[in-house]
Amino acid sequence: MARSGRSRRPARADAGAGAGPGPEAGPTFGELLEAAGLVEQTARATRHVIDQSNAAALAHAGRTGAAVSCLDCTAPKACCTLTTSAYLHEAIPIAARLRREGRDTPALRDALRAAAHRMETTPASRYQAPCVFLDDGERCTVYEERPSVCGTHLVSSPAAACSDPTVASIVKLVGTLQDRAPPEIDAQLTMRAGLRPLDRSYRGALPRMVLLCLEAWPRRDYVSFLGERVLAAAHRFAAATR
């Protein structure tokens, strides 16, 4: 057979038929987030949801004569022992902080994995365990980057009642922004980061989402990694909170 006049590049030994550039050709998840400014943008978006929701709750309390009991709460942190969700855009600033402060250790990942498993396999009505981000003094160690659900669910009933299992009625104050804004931010992140569209939001149990973020940070195949892992985690979380 006559040879063509065109020169041909040698094929890569690991290239399959019709294979295009692999995931190794692009940036890692962390590099993408940093280059696009998404770490600070996602943190700022969540802080805005918390600030605006709390302002609305305070305004509502002022109009109705109710008090927001959480503002001076000194009771044990019952609210930090419940099943807690987080969107991927809320886990990103937490993961970035853990990495920045040198707290992304094998021990922490093990703790996140164990907490996520408990949260995903225990019905929400029966789940009660201290959040993995609480210190020995019950202080949140990621407070400035906490998910919106942690900052927007306030109560007007006595704060101590939240820690008392004999109290059946807790009066919650949840702003409509908490229901509307996070899914919109999630959709924006999905588009800007080029993530795979799912049939639901990139959302799951808080410890699972932070763990997945840490695991995805150095990966170049983060699109498929996050798409597959988050979808599975979202189904498990939905079953636990059904």
Instruction: Encode pLDDT of 32-77 as tens digits.
Output: 999 999 999 999 999 999 999 888 888 877 788 777 888 778 777 8
What pLDDT shows up at residue 19? Answer: 41
Confidence of residue 228 (pLDDT cuts 50, 70, 90): very high
Contact between residue 43 and residue 34 where contact means Cβ atoms under 8 Å apart = no
What pLDDT shows up at residue 61? Answer: 77
- With a cut of 60, say whether residue 234 has pLDDT above it: yes
Query: Which sign does the torsion angle of CA 205, 105, 24, 29 carry?
Result: positive
Choose among 218, 226, 188: nearest CA to 29: 218
Q: 143-152: string of b/e by CB count within 10 Å (b at 16+)? A: eebbbbbbbb
Q: What is the average pLDDT score of the chain?
A: 87
- With a cut of 50, say whether residue 238 has pLDDT above it: yes
Token pair for residue 22? Answer: 């692999």
The domain locations on the chain are 27-240
Confidence of residue 21 (pLDDT cuts 50, 70, 90): very low
Q: Nearest 5°: phi and psi at 154?
A: -105, 165
Instruction: Encode pLDDT of 126-159 as tens digits.
Output: 999 999 999 999 899 999 999 999 988 888 888 8
What pLDDT shows up at residue 16? Answer: 37
Question: If you average pLDDT over residues 198-203, what whole number do you get?
Answer: 96
Percent of the chain with pLDDT over 90: 64
